[in-house]
Structure 1
Amino acid sequence: MDNYKFILSGGGTGGHIYPAIAIANELKEMFPTAEFLFVGAKDRMEMEKVPQAGYEIEGLWISGLQRKLTFKNMMFPIKLVSSLIKARGIVRKFKPDVVIGTGGFASGPLLRMAAAKNIPCLLQEQNSYAGITNKLLASKVKKICVAYDHMERFFPADKIVKTGNPVRKDLVELKISKTEALHFFGLNPEKLVVLVLGGSLGAKRVNQLIKEQLPLFKSLGVQVIWQCGKLYYETYKNLQTEEVLVFDFLNKMDCAYAAADIIISRAGAGAVSELSIVGKPVIFIPSPNVAEDHQTKNALAYVAKDAAILLKEKDLELDFMGVFTALLKDDKKQQALADNIKKQALPEATKSIAFEVEKLVKK
């Protein structure tokens, strides 16, 4: 019998939504007749992205706490009570066999109510510094799947399983050659390629940096694949040349990764996991505007293993030119970074998480 029922909850950002979708897809392969329901926060991106992936979703009236006193913060207790009541109704009606939380404030009320009904729950924590919702839920769940070492700082050690973060299947099975990828982009095989990634919306300071450094790239004979994000495309599209390709969004990430010699990227959990599998030298520029500065902590975990270079936004003006030029001219350093980041890869993460869910469902 595999007509199990699973609820997956998490959202607010792609870093919580896409892992949940990847886990659901893997469970669907394992249990073809299973039923799935997602629970997210009303008015957040999961309400659009989850149905696009082919799953039903229910929305809770919930949002995170702001860092200063605002009307939204004053509404938080009311939203929380409303969400707990609705979550209890969802659990009672759907009767899940297992509930999976991938972080973000929407998963809090849902997993709290499921655990209260003795339904086995599993958390998936993407970052090296655990999110507040997952920390609050840790005592209530059966298993916690993590991507980094030393997570017993945040969670009970006997519940932790190191699985890694789910990544897209096309990257795990990266089959395109560098020659094919360069041809796809129309780039010169005699010149090196820098790939710049700032997330789907874009990263303001990273984009400013790349604009400032275009003369440096030109003088070094470097070609650029620049994913500036949809918020910034209109600002930067006029900088496109034969050697500087500007995109709002990269639909063919496998080609972009295959073409790249060096990658400049934010350090969100999903990006870090993908880049480990890709195995190219990376300069991380973490976003300083995220909860608990977790992108910097993600990057530092890799720097400690000589698996990446970290540049903070506040240091870019002084340090970027020297760091980038030195890396470009040091083949041994490039190779060491590529080898060491590849060692951190956990390409079977999604399967491993689904296996942990299966163990809970068959207990």
Structure 2
Amino acid sequence: MAHRIIIAGGGTGGHIFPAIAIANAIRKIEADADILFVGAIGKMEMEKVPQAGYPIEGLEIAGFNRSNIFKNILLPFKLLKSLRQARNILRRFQPDAVVGVGGYASFPILRKAQKMGIPSLIQEQNSYAGKSNKILGRKANVICVGYEGMDAFFPADKILYTGNPVRGSITQSAVTKEEAMRHFGLMMGKPTVFAVGGSLGAKSINEALLPHLADFVNKDVQLIWQTGKLFYETAKAAAAPYATHVKVFDFINVMDFAYKAADAVISRAGALAIAELCVAQKPVIFVPYPFAAEDHQTKNAESLVHKNAALLIPDAEAGARLANEALSLVQNKALMQQLETNIAPLGNKNADMTIARAVLGLIK
């Protein structure tokens, strides 16, 4: 009989794409596995998961709003409602195991599953565990982690060091540099920077690059710029006079092409971005998102900086430093070679299969 598995979580591409990678890996091992995703209504997963070919149900849940405390007034009611919805989904679907990948929707489902005695696995992507995962970790059967030293947050005997799953389109990409450059309308032989602020864009990265587009042209450096939807029109208008060198996109679906085209990358420091950059083996300047829970993006980035495998510019300093440091990085062959050499061993192409085996191993 086919095993039934729920994968819960989402909110950003950093949670959704690893979740889909795990689902695909489970299906590679067990083709008829019945997989249901549970996400948060109104969030990105409600669109991206069906596009990947999986069913999804949504919970009415929101995260704690750090920038506007008044928006949290309804949070306890939403949490109670989502716990009821989670219980109903679990009773109806009757899963053999539940996987939490982080994000708002993972807490209600895993909390209820653990109370009902359903085996659970947490995939903790960051180097600093979030509050909800610390709570869930007490009763989880297995905790798959992407960084060393996670016994500071979880029982050591439950931890499985797997690395973070990276989507197959990146781990198995066969695209050549020529194809990638042609795709973006770029010229071969010119240094190229790829700036990406995550699936939703990054305000500080965008605002740091905007006044310096002429500098890219003057230094003959090309820029692939993923801005996110909100900044796209502004960036497009600003880049119009520099169209030969600056290519602007609100969202890039073919990330393997962008990584292949780039000589260096500017990126936030979410766990997914880091896992992908390690696999792609790219010199990177991290600009960690400063409002991430427990400032985990800075801690993620520092774990690479300490190994001389990446550079870091604090968000508050991006405006003053980012463009100039990116331009000098692509012209510093020795530093780029050092960063590439040191980031390469940190890449893990098989994390998805290791986690999938751990999930199926929970089912008696």
Matching residue of 1:32: 31
Q: Aligned AA for 1:292?
A: E
Aligned match of 2:215: 216
**Residue 187 of structure 1: aligned partner:** 186
Kept in 1, the 8 Å contact 2:7–2:100? The answer is yes
User: CA, structure 1 residues 64+230, in 2 after alignment: closer, same or farther (shift >3 Å)?
Assistant: closer
Aligned 8 A contact 1:7 1:39 in 2 = yes
What's the CA shift for 1:133?
1.5
| 1:120 alignment partner in structure 2 | 119
Match of 2:91 in 1: 92
C-alpha displacement of 1:85? 2.3
SS in 2 for 1:140: coil
Q: Secondary structure at the match of 1:231?
A: helix
Which of 1 and 2 has higher RCO (CA within 8 Å, sep 6+)? 2
1:328 to 327, 330, 333: 330
Could you say what secondary structure the match of 2:74 adopts? helix
- State the alpha-carbon separation in 2 of the partners of residues 40 and 170 from structure 1: 23
Distance (Å, rounded) in 1 between the aligned partners of 2:166 and 2:83: 31
Residue 103 of structure 1 aligns to which amino acid in structure 2? G
Moved more, 331-340 or 244-253: 244-253
Does the 8 Å contact 1:11/1:45 carry over to 2?
A: yes
Q: What corresponds to 1:17 in structure 2?
A: 16
Instruction: Report the Cα distance in structure 2 between the residues aligned to 1:80 and 1:190, rounded to whole angstroms.
Output: 54
- Between the two proteins, the alignment pairs up a number of residues equal to 361
Provide the residue aligned with 1:145 in structure 2. 144
Amino acid at match of 1:309: L
Question: What letter is aligned with 1:340?
Answer: N
Q: Which residue of 2 aligns with 1:280?
A: 282
> Does 2:247 match 1:245?
yes
Contact kept in structure 2, 1:37 and 1:56, CA below 8 Å = yes
1:269 equivalent in structure 2: 271
How far apart are residue 213 of structure 1 and its match? Answer: 2.1
Listed one character per residue, the Cα deviations across residues 144-191 of structure 1 (whole Å, up to 9, x for unaligned) are 111111111111111111112121212112312222322333322231
Identity across the alignment (%)? 51
- Paired residues of 1:105 and 1:133 also in contact (CA < 8 A): no
Q: For the structure 1 residues 159 and 226, does the alpha-carbon distance in structure 2 shift closer, same or farther, using more than 3 Å as the test?
A: same
Mark the CA change 1:78 to 1:334 in structure 2 (over 3 Å): closer, same or farther. Answer: same
- The answer for the alignment partner of 2:341 in structure 1 is 339
Give the deviation of 1:68 after TM superposition: 7.2
SS of aligned partner of 2:354: helix
* Cα deviation, residue 142, structure 1: 0.4
Deviation larger for 138-147 or 29-38: 29-38
Please name the residue that 1:47 is paired with: 46
Q: Secondary structure at the match of 2:91?
A: helix
Structure 1 length-normalised TM: 0.93
Cα deviation digits, residues 240-291 of structure 1 (max 9, x gap): 4111111122232222211111111111111111010010111111111322
Q: 1:71 to 1:212 in 2, by over 3 A?
A: closer
CA RMSD of aligned residues (A): 1.9
Tell me how far apart the structure 1 counterparts of residues 76 and 228 of structure 2 sit (CA, whole Å). Answer: 35
The amino acid across from 1:339 in the alignment is T
Q: Do structure 1's residue 349 and structure 2's residue 351 form an aligned pair?
A: yes
Q: 1:67 to 1:232 in 2, by over 3 A?
A: closer
- Using a 3 Å threshold, how does the CA distance of structure 1 residues 220 and 271 change in structure 2: closer, same or farther? same
Post-superposition offset of 1:122? 0.1
Q: How far does residue 350 in structure 1 lie from its aligned partner after superposition? A: 0.6
Q: What is the TM-score normalised by the length of structure 2? A: 0.93
- Quote the offset at 1:353 in angstroms: 0.5
**Would you say the 8 A contact 1:104–1:133 is kept in 2?**
no
Are 1:135 and 1:154, in contact at CA under 8 Å, matched by a contact in 2?
yes
Distance apart, 1:339 and its partner CA:
1.2
1:290 to 289, 292, 300: 292
Indicate the residue corresponding to 1:307 in structure 2. Answer: 309
| Alpha-carbon offset, residue 321 of structure 1 | 5.3
In structure 1, runs of 5+ residues without a counterpart are: none
For structure 2, the 5+ residue unaligned runs are none
